[in-house]
Structure 1
């Protein structure tokens, strides 16, 4: 006899995610769920995005990590509200975690919530957090073959960010092959090449995001 525990867990998660989505919509808050491997530059991308949009929008960040609050402190140092979630070993965030996190945020004053999910290219794709968009961040040092190895996360993403493009010559990254692989998996997803720590390419990504936020206000 085989007992499938995954579907009941996902069903419960999805029910709460639907409630979260309505709550966000009622308050006109746009929510991003950032998916990436450890070291891909999630936090640096968040900081660059904040810098580009903070004059127009009120932003908060939910940081998901197995342990520590290092990234949340980096966000707070920029004067941005940040809530730390430590999963204690779980490889992804779930909607019940997000529900508890937003209880300490003033949704009526926010325009954008950025969720930094746990660094993982598998588990987070299955869990709806009530977000408007999942965003896949890949860094050039990880290699241009990642869409072939982890197709699910690229298929789930509404947007793909290619980070650390300034290192492309060093790592012999095949941009054409990468783009073709992404297009095969997800033809609708725009690809934004950036170097977050240097601010390169961030303006185009931020412009796209600003348009999404304005559309729900």
Structure 2
């Protein structure tokens, strides 16, 4: 069977990031990085550098993020059920991109993942991997690529179950990368500066 889109990028950017600011006043995805881009924009640009066909999943009450993404030409998908957990965002995106042969699922709060890493995961999927996950110095990180093999199971996820649930028992092709960014998400303000020792 052939599909109209070989592989689609999914950027999950619908979380509230409460660990970043307990008051909820500051959206971590809209914080500026040293290069002047926001966290979400950097994450999206890195994904699009490899996968022009991609979608950014956002929650309905984040107009600033929607505006920024659309200003830069990204297609946004509003997930009305985003607050029920990450699974809602993921399944929303999968249902919207059912014509794809596979997906690379990236996180909006991981702006330091290098495009070369995403390209390596894409290559692994194109060469037959059911699941492709990056590994840096023995530690597995994000993003993760999935072929259609696991689509039925991914669509059954609910609540805070992310794709990690599928990874826990599936056959995963690991892709060794020289990229500490796969382990570095923005949880607190100090995370906006990528440790030079990890570069």
TM-score normalized by structure 1?
A: 0.37
TM-score normalized by structure 2?
A: 0.39
Higher normalized helix content (fraction of residues)? 1
